[in-house]
Amino acid sequence: MVFVMQYSNYHRVLRVSAVVVAVVLLFESGLVSDATVRISQDTHLYLANAIGMTAKVQPTELNQLTAALTAKEKELAAREAALSEREIAVDFSGGADGNEKATYLLASILFILLVLILLNYVLDYIRIRDERTEVKTV
């Protein structure tokens, strides 16, 4: 009786991770829809802005000037976001470089996973073949 390892938890996890990476790659690359690229970029920006830290200090003149400068910067950022939304509406957004890098990264991860799956099945085949030859020679 030969036990094939293709139904082990390791193989299940490997197959599921390959499928998940492939789906994320399709989503990130925009092959499904152009809207997925924009959703992906907005999600990256949201996550980048959500990660942060706050601290409280006593108010001084310098702090108040810094707060005023920060308020101006936020106002400029809001104007820039409005301009970016208008560019997206007209399809002139130029922020595809980050998305292309993510696509290449996910594609390379998917390729590595597929190579590992293939290597695993080849090594299982070799092990089973060697076990069969040992049984025949004994």
Cα–Cα distance for residue pair 58/41, rounded to 1 Å:
37
What tokens does 52 get? 């942060």
Cα–Cα distance for residue pair 60/66, rounded to 1 Å:
10
pLDDT band at 118 (very low <50, low <70, confident <90, very high): very high
Cα–Cα distance for residue pair 61/67, rounded to 1 Å:
10
Q: Residue 91 gets which letter from DSSP?
A: T
Radius of gyration of the chain (CA): 26
Q: What's the pLDDT tens digit per position in 9-43?
A: 888 888 888 888 888 888 888 887 888 888 888 88
pLDDT band at 1 (very low <50, low <70, confident <90, very high): very low
Q: Percent of the chain, pLDDT > 90? A: 22
Kindly give the residue spans of alpha helices, DSSP state H, lying in the chain.
Answer: 9-29, 34-50, 61-90, 96-137
Q: Residue 6 gets which letter from DSSP?
A: G
Buried b vs exposed e over 94-117: b needs ≥16 C-beta within 10 Å?
A: eeeeebeebbeebeebbeebeeee
Instruction: Please tell me whether the overall predicted TM-score, pTM, comes out greater than 0.75 for this model.
Output: no
Q: Percent of the chain, pLDDT > 70? A: 86
Q: What's the pLDDT tens digit per position in 101-110?
A: 888 888 899 9
Cα–Cα distance for residue pair 31/36, rounded to 1 Å:
8
Cα–Cα distance for residue pair 99/38, rounded to 1 Å:
9
What are the domain boundaries of the chain?
Answer: 17-47+97-137
